[in-house]
């Protein structure tokens, strides 16, 4: 058995010629292997029984020599892929799963019915160039460049990937090479394997953005450190998935999920501060703040787009007010373009941030200079910590809302950070509690938060209109004020329901 420890990058045709020189600069010695044409077929049953077990079965042929490979469930931490892999020579091109050691299969797995129903789901065919490099520290790293396509059901997608795999030595060298690559050429970290792409193509299930952040899949048996690792990794995956979703099909709401992932990482640093010392995260926090700054326009842009949608209640009034329509169009015109966003996702600073987070997770860098209190906190129950956190946040938030007195716009806006904090804690810990009760508690608070975002956008439009000289803007200002008042009234109802909700924890 081998265990792959690799980082994957997506590379454009423009960057391909630059790769050999960069590898040579980094390496002490380079062995440039001959290029090969690899023909691969991935097998499963019609019911995708192997996929359900996170098992990959692949045949690979180079000229007339073939092998079969089983990849078992592993883990992806940040951008680092680690999976157990078993390879056997193969006569012919059809796999024989009985040839593998029976000990590798999950308990209870029945091979006979699976073997009878195996068929090729999709193929990946590409030219592979390989360099085996030795670093100054003595590590061996295999660098492969794959150019070709994945095909299924008469459809195909291009493959243009650079993978660096640690063959022997220190993981540090793998990250050093990765940092050099993202510093010198416009690659971006690849999150999805060729197999994942092939299954999506075969099953006609393109990558879709999440409708919301979701809940970190924690279990009550976890300690705090396990929960922390799970949370940060979940957040990084959220960012990487929606980066790819945006490249596939640009959408403001997809960018919002990237923002959510970044905020979730920062929130985890704060939640678990008893054993995640500030000094171990200072540089990461700085870079996360930079990324949020690059995307700070997104939430306002979502509301501006919503207001001008024909399905929105405001559309007719805005459409009939050319002065306000012009202001909104002017705001849209200065928003970053799809090209601007793709440049961001390919830039060195963005990809170094993802690499740094990945390395920080893998190396458990928060353990630096741990004392007994930190060790005790890290090993204690996450469920107990979740209840304590929720109690503190709930008490603080309730104190910001008067019982009987109506609230003004400014008061609602002031509560935004605390509501976001409570809801993000729920995204981190909510899976530990009953789903129905959790949903009932969170729903009105999410309505209030959405109302606050909308109030802020209406207020922004009011300020823009107030700076105009035209008399026609007075009617628009009156209308904007009416909308704010109506929204406040609806939010007051949600607030009363929220304050009286029974906590789900």
What whole-number percentage of the chain has pLDDT above 70?
Answer: 97
CB 55 within 8 A of CB 335: no
Question: Tokens 């994942």 belong to which residue?
Answer: 196
Q: Give the integer Cα–Cα distance in Å for 404 and 11.
A: 59
Task: Read off the pLDDT of each residue in 148-161 and give the average, rounded to a whole number.
Answer: 95
Neighbour tally for 396: CB within 10 Å: 12
Return the pLDDT at 401: 84
The CATH class, in words, for 213-297+338-380 is: mainly alpha
Tokens of residue 502, six digits? 């029974």
Question: Tokens 């308990």 belong to which residue?
Answer: 107
pLDDT surpassing 70 at residue 99: yes
Q: What SS3 class is residue 130?
A: strand
82's enclosing H/E stretch is: strand 80-90
Q: What SS3 class is residue 370?
A: coil
Could you tell me the pLDDT band of residue 439, with boundaries at 50, 70 and 90? very high
CB 362 within 8 A of CB 82: no
CB 238 within 8 A of CB 263: no
Q: Map out the domains of the chain as residue ranges.
A: 2-202, 213-297+338-380, 304-335+381-505
Task: Read off the pLDDT of each residue in 143-171 and give the average, rounded to a whole number.
Answer: 94
Return the pLDDT at 469: 63
Could you tell me the pLDDT band of residue 4, with boundaries at 50, 70 and 90? low
Task: Read off the pLDDT of each residue in 224-245 and give the average, rounded to a whole number.
Answer: 96
Return the pLDDT at 308: 77
CB 124 within 8 A of CB 42: yes
Length of the chain: 505
Could you tell me the pLDDT band of residue 188, with boundaries at 50, 70 and 90? very high
Return the pLDDT at 2: 57
- Determine the longest span between alpha carbons in the chain, in angstroms: 84
Exposure string of 52-68, with b = 16+ CB inside 10 Å and e = fewer, is eeebbbbbbbeeeebeb
Tokens of residue 450, six digits? 């959405």
Could you tell me the pLDDT band of residue 360, with boundaries at 50, 70 and 90? very high
CB 31 within 8 A of CB 167: no
Question: Could you report the per-residue pLDDT of 361-370, keeping only the tens digit for each?
Answer: 999 999 998 9
Q: What SS3 class is residue 151?
A: strand
Which spans in 171-281 are helix H? 171-184, 194-202, 224-248, 252-271
Task: Read off the pLDDT of each residue in 449-460 and give the average, rounded to a whole number.
Answer: 86
Q: Could you say which of 3.60.20.10, 2.130.10.10, 2.40.160.50, 2.40.320.10 is the CATH number of the domain covering 2-202?
A: 2.40.320.10
Q: Give the integer Cα–Cα distance in Å for 447 and 248.
A: 30
Return the pLDDT at 494: 83
Could you tell me the pLDDT band of residue 471, with boundaries at 50, 70 and 90? low
Q: What is the mean pLDDT of the chain?
A: 90
What whole-number percentage of the chain has pLDDT above 90?
Answer: 66
- Bridge partners (DSSP) listed for residue 39: 61, 125
Task: Read off the pLDDT of each residue in 165-189 and give the average, rounded to a whole number.
Answer: 92
Could you tell me the pLDDT band of residue 310, with boundaries at 50, 70 and 90? confident
Cβ-proximal residues to 57 (8 Å cutoff; 6+ apart), any chain: 42, 43, 44, 50, 68, 69, 70, 95, 97, 118
Question: Could you report the per-residue pLDDT of 259-275, keeping only the tens digit for each?
Answer: 999 999 999 999 999 99
Could you tell me the pLDDT band of residue 492, with boundaries at 50, 70 and 90? confident
Task: Read off the pLDDT of each residue in 90-103 and give the average, rounded to a whole number.
Answer: 92
Return the pLDDT at 244: 96
Task: Read off the pLDDT of each residue in 102-112 and give the average, rounded to a whole number.
Answer: 90
């Amino acid at each position: 058995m081998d265990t792959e420890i690799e980082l994957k990058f997506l590379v454009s045709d423009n960057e391909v010629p630059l790769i050999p020189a960069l590898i040579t600069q980094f390496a002490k010695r380079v062995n440039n292997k001959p290029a090969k044409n690899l023909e691969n077929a991935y097998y499963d049953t019609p019911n995708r029984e192997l996929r359900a077990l996170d098992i990959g079965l692949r045949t690979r042929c180079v000229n007339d020599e073939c092998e079969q490979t089983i990849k078992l469930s592993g883990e992806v931490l940040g951008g680092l892929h680690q999976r157990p892999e078993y390879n056997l020579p193969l006569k012919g091109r059809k796999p024989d799963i009985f040839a593998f050691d029976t000990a590798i299969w999950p308990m209870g797995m029945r091979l006979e019915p699976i073997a009878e129903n195996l068929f090729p789901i999709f193929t990946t065919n590409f030219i592979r160039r390989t360099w085996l490099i030795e670093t100054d520290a003595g590590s061996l790293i295999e660098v492969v460049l794959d150019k070709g396509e994945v095909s299924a059901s008469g459809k195909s997608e291009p493959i243009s990937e650079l993978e660096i795999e640690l063959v022997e030595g220190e993981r540090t060298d793998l990250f050093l090479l990765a940092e050099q690559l993202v510093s010198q050429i416009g690659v971006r970290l690849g999150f999805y394997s060729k197999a994942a792409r092939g299954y999506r193509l075969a099953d006609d299930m393109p990558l879709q953005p999440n409708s919301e952040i979701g809940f970190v899949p924690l279990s009550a048996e976890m300690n705090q450190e396990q929960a922390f690792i799970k949370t940060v990794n979940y957040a990084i995956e959220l960012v990487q998935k929606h980066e790819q979703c945006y490249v596939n099909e640009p959408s403001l709401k997809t960018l919002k999920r990237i923002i959510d992932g970044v905020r979730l990482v920062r929130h985890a640093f704060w939640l678990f501060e008893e054993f995640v010392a500030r000094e171990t995260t200072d540089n990461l926090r700085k870079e996360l703040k930079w990324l949020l700054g690059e995307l700070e326009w997104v939430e306002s842009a979502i509301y501006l787009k919503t207001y001008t949608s024909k399905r929105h209640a405001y559309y007719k009034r805005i459409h009939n007010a050319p002065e306000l329509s012009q202001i909104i169009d002017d705001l849209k015109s200065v928003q970053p373009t799809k090209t601007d966003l793709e440049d961001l996702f390919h830039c060195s600073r963005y990809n170094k941030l993802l690499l740094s987070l990945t390395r920080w997770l893998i190396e458990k860098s928060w353990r630096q200079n741990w004392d007994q209190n930190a060790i005790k906190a890290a090993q204690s129950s996450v469920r107990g910590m979740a209840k304590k956190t929720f109690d503190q946040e709930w008490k603080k938030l309730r104190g910001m809302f008067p019982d009987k007195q109506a609230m003004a716009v400014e008061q609602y806006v002031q509560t935004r950070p605390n509501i976001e904090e409570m809801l993000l804690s729920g995204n981190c810990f909510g899976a530990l509690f009953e789903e129905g009760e959790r949903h009932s508690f969170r729903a009105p608070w999410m309505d209030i938060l959405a109302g606050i975002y909308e109030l802020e956008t209406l207020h922004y439009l009011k300020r823009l209109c107030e700076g105009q000289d035209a008399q026609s803007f007075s009617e628009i200002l009156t209308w904007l004020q009416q909308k704010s008042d109506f929204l406040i009234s609806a939010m007051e109802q949600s607030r009363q329901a929220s304050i009286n909700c029974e906590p789900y924890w």
